[in-house]
Amino acid sequence: MFQSAKKWKRLAVGALAAMFAVGALSGCGGGSSSGGSAGGNVKIEMVAKGFQHDFWKAVRMGAEQAGKELGADINFVGPDSESAVAQQVEMIKNAVNKHPAALCLAALDTKATLDVIGQAQQAKIPIIGFDSGVPGAPAGAIVANAATDNYAAGGIAAENMMKAIKGKVTQAQGAVRIGIVAQDSNSESIGQRTKGFVDKMIQLLEAEPALGTGSVAVVGHDKYANGKTDGKVIIEVRIPSEVSDNAGKTEAATLLNKPDLMAIYGSNEFSAKCIINANETLQKLGPDKVIAVGFDSGALQINAIKTGLFIGSVTQDPVQIGYQAVKLAVAAAKGEKVEDVDTGALWYDAKNMDDAKIKPCLYQ
């Protein structure tokens, strides 16, 4: 594993060095900073983390839609896989060499792209981050980001779960439990989706007169536990010891085995899948049984929603990610002041999953 990562890095460094030499030779006379005056349309280059995946197709669709509305020409490219760092660096370099009015970027590896980002800055090409953006980029290099606010998205999951369990949770005799399976404790986005869910759930539960302030205990993983062990509602966060199907499934099974479990949330595709796999023997999920809510999509999760095992899930909105990125890019190209945009998240269930607004956001 390490060897192959190193190999890619070496390739990336080699490609960078070669391109830097070419750039130094050819780029000396380059003076035309912002492009797009001839045809009237601003030219925007977009470099994504992938190309073939449904998610990126949806991003592209949104970007082209915004391009049409705002009079911008979009050139959307992406590497063959999310490990093809060198290929992506080359794509970014090509994009910068075209002197577009703005560059939209979802970087695979920030360090590998630093040189190219520097060149874009020198050429005064504004860079907009989209999807996961360019995490850890030097201050000021990225003028704005169009990305999902995962904390708010976790809240959407909590709101919809609350709708389904409100009657039962307020009339419950004794304590009830809400389980959460989270993939790991280090990922920023998963952490936000979990924390957003927990905080929103506490807020909603404590607003119920039957429960009241201080009635919710958060137990399980240290990162989320609130110190209370007793309450009318216990939220239990479980994180598998390793990101493997077996470990995840076992954590989900221990939650499903608890007799006081009322609802369960999986904060990404992996966690939702683990809940579904654990349920296969336990058969605890269903509209009149344990209420389950997921995040993202994937064939297994979509099937679980169709068959009623899950009441629904939250998905990011890739169409909006593309749309907002281009909107920011056009504004930045005009020299307007831009700031980060939350591209939102959508709730989907068996009823609305084929809607025109939802369908492009889901992947198998």
* Residues near 116 by beta carbon (within 8 Å), at least 6 away in sequence: 16, 89, 92, 93, 96
Q: Does 65 engage in binding with other proteins (CB under 8 A)? A: no
Token readout for 166 is 């409100």
Q: Which stretch binds other proteins (CB under 8 A): 28-36, 59-67, 104-112, 244-252?
A: 244-252
* Residue (33 or 244) nearer to other proteins, CB: 244
- Out of 222, 230, 288, 336, name the contact with other proteins by CB under 8 A: 222
Rounded least distance, CB 250 to other proteins, Å: 5
Q: Is 250 in the site for other proteins (CB under 8 A)?
A: yes
Please name the helix (run of DSSP H) or strand (run of DSSP E) that holds residue 336, with its range, or none: none
The site map against other proteins for 18-47 (x = CB under 8 A) is: ------------------------------
Q: From the list 9, 163, 228, 258, which residue makes contact with other proteins (rule: CB under 8 A)? A: 258
Contact 272, 296 (CB under 8 A): yes
User: Beta strand pairing status for 312-316 and 345-348?
Assistant: antiparallel
Touching other proteins, residues 81-100 (CB under 8 A) = 81-83
Shorter beta-carbon distance to other proteins: residue 166 or 223: 223
- How is residue 37 written in tokens? 């005056």
If one counts every other C-beta atom within 10 angstroms of the C-beta of residue 263, the result is 25
Judged on CB neighbours under 10 Å (0-12, 13-18, 19+), 41 is middle
Q: Concatenated DSSP letters for 212-224?
A: -TT-EEEEESTTT
**Comparing C-alpha atoms, which of 132, 69, 85 is closest to residue 105?**
132
Residue identified by tokens 């915004």 is 66
How far apart are CB 155 and other proteins at their closest, in Å? Answer: 25
Cβ 300 to other proteins shortest distance, Å? 5
Among 38-46, 166-174, 217-225, 226-234, the segment contacting other proteins (CB under 8 A): 217-225
Instruction: Name the site residues for other proteins (rule: CB under 8 A).
Output: 1, 3-4, 50, 52-53, 80-83, 220-222, 238-242, 244-247, 249-251, 253-254, 257-258, 273, 276-278, 280-282, 298-300, 303, 364
